[in-house]
Every structure is written in C-alpha cells, then in structure tokens.
Amino acid sequence: MSQHHILYVCALLMDMAVAGVTFAISRRAAELGATSAQLGLLGAVWIGVYAAFALMTGRVSDRVGRRRMAVSGCVVAAAMSVACALTTNVAWLLVLSAVFGVGLSGFWPAIIAWLGEGLSGAKLAERLTKFSVAWNLGLLLGFAYTGALFQHGTRLPFYISAAAIVLIVALLLVPARAGRARPPGEPQLSDGTAVRPYLEPHVPKGRGFRKTAWMANFAINFATGGVGALFPQLATMLGISPEVHSGLNALGRGAALAAFVALQLLAFWRTRLWPLWVAQAACVAGILWIGVANVTWMFALAFIICGAVSGYTYQASIFFTLEEISEKGKGSGFHEAIVGSGMFFGPLCAGWVGDGHSLRAPYFFCAWALVLAVALQMMLVTIRRRTHQAA
C-alpha cells in the first residue's frame, strides 16, 4: 500500500476514535446532570487546546518529520481515551479531554502537511478530497456505532477508540511501498509519488479567497460547535436516545462527505466567493430550525444542512491554504488552529448563553453570530477590492 493510501486509512480511524471519545464524554456528562456551562466547556476545552498546540506542532513537523510527530500524538491520544473510561467525574473529564486535544494536535497537522507535499492545483484538490472523504467517513462510522456501544456500556466507546488509535500507530510504522523511478528532474513526494506540475491557475490571487475561507471556516465551526456541544442536553430533555442522537451526528457527517465529493466534481467554487456566503446563510436557517424543532425528522434535516455546509467551508479553507502557503506544516497548522478556535469559542459562548437564558437560547445565539460573520466577510472583501481598484 502506498503512503498516501495508508494516511487515508489513518485519517478514517482517527476520526472514528474522535467521534467515539467526544460523543461519549458529552453524553456521559449530560446524563450525570452537567450544566449548560459545563457541557460548553467539555465541548470547547479539548479543541481549544488542540487549536493552540496545532500552531506549534505543524511547524515542528516541518523539522522533525511527519511520521514522528503523528505517532507521538497518537500515543498521547490513546492513553487519554483509556483514562476517560475510568472516571465519571466531570472535572476530570475536562482535564483528560484537554490532554486528548494535545495528542490530536500532534497528529492532524502532520498528516495534512504530509498529504499536501509537493502538490498544487487539480492534483492537490483531488488528494484533499480523498482525505476529507476518509476522515468524514470515520466520523460518520464513529457516530453511527458509538451510540449503540454507549447503551451497552458507557466505557466501551473509549476502549474501542483507544484500540483504533493503536492500530493507527501500527499502520504509520509499516514501511510504505516504494514509488516508481522518476525521470531526471521530475519532482517527487516523500512517499515516492511522482508529481507533475499543474501550471494553470485555480485561485485568483490577491482577492481574499484564503482569508475569506478562513473566516467562513471559523464562523461555521463556531456556530456548529456550539450547537453540537449543547445538543446532548436538549436531546436528554426530549427523551432522544443515545443511539438516535449519534445517528443525527452521523447524518451530518454523511452530508459533509457528500459535499466533499460534489466539490471535487464542481470546480467553480475555486474562483468564486459568493457560494461560501450562500452556504453559510443556509446553515443559519438550519440552526434556527434546531432552535424550534421538537421531533427527530426536523433535527435530521437541520443536521444534514449544517453538515454539508461545514464540509464546504472546511474544504475551501484547506485547499486555499495549501495552494498559497509553501510551508505545508505551517499552513496546515494554521488551518487546523482556525478550525479548533471556532470549535472552542462556539461551545464556550453557547454554554454561557444557555446558563444565563434558556435551553433553546444557544441555538438562536449561534445563528445570529453566523449572520454577523457573513456580513463581516462580505464587508472586508468589498473594502479589499475597492482598495485594489483605487490602487
């Protein structure tokens, strides 16, 4: 098996584990009677730590090597998954989930940079699509089985997640298949894959695509992160079972997966910004729908919309980042830090709103925060383009 195919499998397994750990932590805390603020912290602390460390670990992987960085992160993450299984104390779950975030920060930026080495244009987009399909399939499968496991034993999701991460370590340590010999002067990736240059431009330079995608990615992760962190409380109150709850999460990831495939087939989004704004507006509608919904099919529709939009903004951010930044570890670390910071501040703020107002208030807060973010993106792009025209 070639190196990049091994990395796709590792991405799938890691997000199966992430889905298992994060779902089990939040659902266990909700059933233990955690407050909105505590649920917000549980949803925020691990990803906040991840975001902070990703800025460093991505650059470190440029120096010490992708494999070493990724394996080190896996060891920490697996240990924390087992430790989470051994406690029902909410405060300890907070601490352990924070260290879990440290472990993930060693894995994801290194893997993303590894996959993006030496590529640009259509070839980069193709590989990132396969990568995104892999990790989203991992989340989908993880959420699909975690609810059923949780109902049979609250420790099972943690143990299964730890086993998946140990398998990742084994795969990363397996020697990859050697690549074919290349003609003199032809560039080659670290996994032996020959790279052919793609000279045609895909992203209009100097028009704010990368920064707009970063802002959109932050905003969507802020809004959907807040929704995801507080939904266990709403689900518990409405009598939605853990299995159905995890199934809703799986629907969202399935929609994101479909979005990744569609983006590979429809390249127009690489040269236009308005689809990003329309997609975020659709997510606003989906979150507002969750705020008033009471039955499963209504939640399912909203989760599908939000999942598809999150897939789009993620892919736009990672593509524009790796297309424009030559230091792949630095670029992937920054991209992941943006994802993580949105997922940190969203649950934190939503938890505070829920504690201070009502059970449904966080959803309306997240929706209007997203509206404000879209307006800010449009304003900054307009100012940037007028400044360039004047110059």
Q: In sequence order, which residues have a C-beta less than 8 Å from that of residue 123 and are 6 or more positions away?
A: 195, 196, 198
**What is the spatial distance between Cα 191 and Cα 178, in angstroms, rounded to a whole number?**
7
Of the candidates 38, 47, 136, 49, which has an alpha carbon nearest to the alpha carbon of residue 342?
Answer: 47
β-strand partners of 188: 194
What pLDDT is recorded for position 351? 85
**Cα distances (Å, whole numbers) of residue 334 to 56, 82, 105, 108:** 9, 29, 11, 11
Q: How many CA atoms lie within 13 A of 22 on its CB side?
A: 29
What pLDDT is recorded for position 169? 95
Domains of the chain, with CATH numbers? 3-177+201-390 (1.20.1250.20)
**What is the spatial distance between Cα 216 and Cα 282, in angstroms, rounded to a whole number?**
13
Residue 194 DSSP SS3: strand
Q: In sequence order, which residues have a C-beta less than 8 Å from that of residue 386 and are 6 or more positions away?
A: none
**What is the spatial distance between Cα 23 and Cα 249, in angstroms, rounded to a whole number?**
9
What pLDDT is recorded for position 196? 41
What pLDDT is recorded for position 176? 61
β-strand partners of 194: 188
- Cα dihedral sign, 95-141-346-239: negative
pLDDT tens by residue, the chain, 391 residues = 688 899 999 999 999 999 899 888 888 887 777 777 787 788 778 888 999 999 899 889 888 889 999 999 999 999 999 998 888 888 888 899 999 999 999 999 999 989 887 766 778 888 888 998 898 888 888 877 887 788 788 889 899 999 999 999 999 998 766 444 444 444 444 444 444 443 344 555 556 788 899 999 999 999 999 998 889 888 888 998 888 888 898 899 889 989 988 988 887 888 888 999 999 999 999 999 999 998 899 999 999 999 999 999 998 998 888 887 777 788 888 888 998 899 889 988 998 898 878 889 999 999 999 999 999 999 988 887 777 666 5
What pLDDT is recorded for position 17? 94
What pLDDT is recorded for position 218? 96
**What is the spatial distance between Cα 230 and Cα 225, in angstroms, rounded to a whole number?**
9
Residues in the chain: 391
Q: In sequence order, which residues have a C-beta less than 8 Å from that of residue 172 and are 6 or more positions away?
A: 6, 10, 67, 70, 71, 74
Residue 179 phi, psi dihedral angles, 5° rounding: -80, 170
